[in-house]
Structure formats: C-alpha cells, structure tokens
Structure 1
Amino acid sequence: MGTAPIDMREREALCDLLAELGPDAPTLCEGWDTADLAAHLVLREHFKRGTDEQMAAEKAKGLPALIARLRTGPPPVPWRVPGLRTLMNGLEYFIHHEDVRRANGLGRRPDRPDLDALAWRMTGFAGRRAARRIRPYGLELRPPGGSPRRFGSPGGAVLHGEPTELLLYLSGRRDAAEVRLTGDADAVAALQGADTAV
C-alpha cells in the first residue's frame, strides 16, 4: 500500500489507469469519457468552474498533457495542507478512480483499510444528506463487523457493505457499488429513487 498520502496514491493510480486506457474509455460519470474526467480534475484543482468551453479547451490539450499536469500534483493551498488534503482530494480521487476502474470491468480493491476509514468518516455527511432526501424514512449504514450509523427515523432503509462501497452508492454510483439494501419496502424504494449523487 505504501506510505504516501491517500490523495497522492489515488492520483498516481488513476493517472496510470488513464494512460493505459486512453482518452475514449468509458467512466461511470454520465456523458464523460476518460479525457473528460481528466479535464474536470485539472479544472477543479485550479478553481475553474468547468464550463463547456473550459472543458473543451482542456481536452484539446490531449490526455497525455492532462495526465502530466495531474501528476505534478495540485497547487499548495489548500490542496496540500495537512489534514485538509485527504478530506478535499482523497475521496475525490478515490471516487473518480473507481469511476474509471468499474466502468472498464475492474472490481473492488480489497485490503485498503485507510480508504475504508476515510470513506466511513465521510459516510456521516453522505448518509445525512441521503436521509434528508428520503424523509420521513430513515437510513442505516451497516458495515461488516462494525457499528452501524443511523440517520433519521428508525426502521427505514438499511444499506450493507464495506465503507468504500457505501460511499460509492451514496455518491450516485449505485449500479457499480457492491452493497445490499434491505429494510422497510417504502424506505428502500425512496432511497432507490432519491438523487444522492455528488
């Protein structure tokens, strides 16, 4: 696994995969190929809004140039500030890495306890947001071998899975996430119909 920060590890792994797959490979982001995703990441880190014109301008530079820019790392502030870097970029790169991996037939990566710990931390935010969107029903997140998290009313929908998979589901990657959904039928239907994407 190495000792590099999560955001740098995920960045490098994603860059390697983008280089391997090329600019036209699919992603889980609707309407985006790998070149679109790389352009989005470059624009995001340089605080540009990502308009259609800006995306087109970045894509026109070519995937190798976008990958080279991503490999240099983000600007120092705020992206490299200790404590903030993992929260701001760790999950961004994890989720987009999975967007590319899973759209191209690569499954879940086991034995990533640091990613699971970070994902579990962030399920607090994602779970609250999802629970608000399915009111009056509640939501429970249940990782294997751990204490569940509950949001809203008891007896609602129950989402089972590894923390990274729960986060992928809650961030809109439902079909790709390896989870199991149980609980009250109306609450389950509400969750399945809710827009929880980020």
Structure 2
Amino acid sequence: MPRYARSEREALTELMSTLGPDAPTLDEGWTTRDLAAHLVIRERRPDAAAGIALKPLRNRAERIQREVAALDWAELLDQVRRPPVWSPVSNPLTDELANTMEFFIHHEDVRRAQADWRPRELPVELERTLWRRGRLLARMALRRFPARLLVQAPGHGEVTVGRGGEPLRLAGTPGELVLFLSGRQRATRVECDGPPALVDRLRGSNLGF
C-alpha cells in the first residue's frame, strides 16, 4: 500500500533542505523555517498545537513557535523528517489519515512559492485520497457560501455545497481543489464558472482553517 504521507514528508524536507531556511512559502509571512517549526509543534508539542485552532492559547503557541523556529536548521529539518512514534498525528496507525493532505498541502506551499513551479502529475491513488478529503473540505469550507456551488473533480466525482442561490461551478484535479479549498486560491489552476461577482468572491474568500 502506498504511503503518501511519508513520501510527501520526504519530498518536502528534501526541498526545504535544498532551498534553505529563508525561502518563501504560500503561508503569509512564513519562511521555510517557520513552516518547519509549525510541523514540529504539530507533532511533538500537543500542548502548543492546540493554540493553532484555539484563540485563548494562541499567544503561548506563538511563543513556542518562535522558540522552535530558533533551533539549528539541520536539527529542525531532522525533527520534521523523523516524527516521533508516540505522536497522536504521526504514529503508524494515524499517519496516512492525519498527514497525507497536511504534507501534500505544505509541500505545495513551498513548491508554489518559487518562481519556476509547475503542477505535478500525481499518482492516481493519491488523487483519489485527496478527493475523499476534498469532498469533506468543500462541505466545511463552503457550507455558508451564498451560492449553489458545484465542486467537480473530473474522473473522481462531484459535490454540491453552499447555501443555495445562483449556480457556480468549481472544477479541477483533486490536488488543485484541495489547495483551493484550504485557502491557496491564487496559486491553483482550477476552472470557476458563474456570475463574475460570485467568482471573484470565491477566489478572494478566506477559506483556510
């Protein structure tokens, strides 16, 4: 069985090693060093990882993020490359479920922040996995969008989301749709058809979590 969480992790750490700690990413204000620190905290510091989603804990999480980011670059990358087996999100039982989409997105965050990036041709099984995640992501990210929005991944399926109203169509490969729906709209290659005002609103919405 393919281990896409592992292969995306390895590709990301290799790319960050090549680019160095100060390369840009699609995550606003973050360099590769900041992204690496985020990944380390997510897997190794559950006491701080909660601050990613919970505002009352955010100040503490940001302080720990700065402390981890200050580690030696080689050590930081090694911690990303070799997650602890006790981690709730990267142990052998949870790795594929918790990390395939996470590391695919962050790999693309680094790739697509570089001037010469090109879309990758992904393995079919990885596309299928990303579409399974993407359908749920679409329902979560677009449940309140003021349109009847058809999200299509040709060859994989489609899902209708939104609050209803004027029709809108968003189409692309599963990988492009996952990136779009996670807030990376401007760095994706998708088709978006419908009333221009709604298309612009969708492309400019804050869809990240």
* Fold shared per TM-score above 0.5: yes
| CA positional deviation for 1:132 | 2.0
2:155 maps to amino acid: G
| CA positional deviation for 1:115 | 2.1
Number of the residue aligned with 1:10: 8
State the Cα RMSD in Å: 1.9
- Conserved in 2, the CA contact under 8 Å of 1:129 and 1:196? no
Pick one of 115, 129, 135 that aligns with 1:118: 129
| CA positional deviation for 1:77 | 4.5
Quick one: percent identity of the two aligned structures?
38
1:109 matched to 2:109? The reply is: no
Matches within 5 A, 1:160-175: 160-175=171-186
| CA positional deviation for 1:66 | 0.8
Number of the residue aligned with 1:156: 167
2:27 maps to amino acid: C
SS at match of 1:40: helix
Provide the aligned length of Structure 1 versus Structure 2: 194
Number of the residue aligned with 1:180: 191
Matches within 5 A, 1:44-59: 44-46=42-44, 47=46, 48-49=48-49, 51-59=61-69
| CA positional deviation for 1:154 | 6.8
| CA positional deviation for 1:186 | 4.2
1:69 maps to amino acid: Q
1:62 matched to 2:45? The reply is: no
Cα separation, 1, equivalents of 2:203 and 2:71: 39
Cα separation, 2, equivalents of 1:141 and 1:127: 8
2:96 maps to amino acid: T
Change (3 A) 1:15 1:193: closer
Change (3 A) 1:66 1:4: farther
SS at match of 1:25: coil
Q: Cα deviation per residue 1:4-61 (whole Å; 9 max; x = unaligned)?
A: 5111111111110011000000000000000000000000112123623212211211
- Conserved in 1, the CA contact under 8 Å of 2:148 and 2:168? yes
Unaligned runs of 5+ residues in structure 2 are 52-60
Number of the residue aligned with 1:26: 24
Q: Cα deviation per residue 1:98-127 (whole Å; 9 max; x = unaligned)?
A: 000110132211032122111101112221
Cα separation, 1, equivalents of 2:185 and 2:62: 26
Number of the residue aligned with 1:140: 150
- Higher mean displacement: 97-106 or 69-78: 69-78
| CA positional deviation for 1:130 | 2.9
Q: TM-score, normalised by structure 2?
A: 0.84
Cα separation, 2, equivalents of 1:66 and 1:181: 39
2:39 maps to amino acid: L
Unaligned runs of 5+ residues in structure 1 are none
SS at match of 1:116: helix
- Conserved in 1, the CA contact under 8 Å of 2:131 and 2:156? no
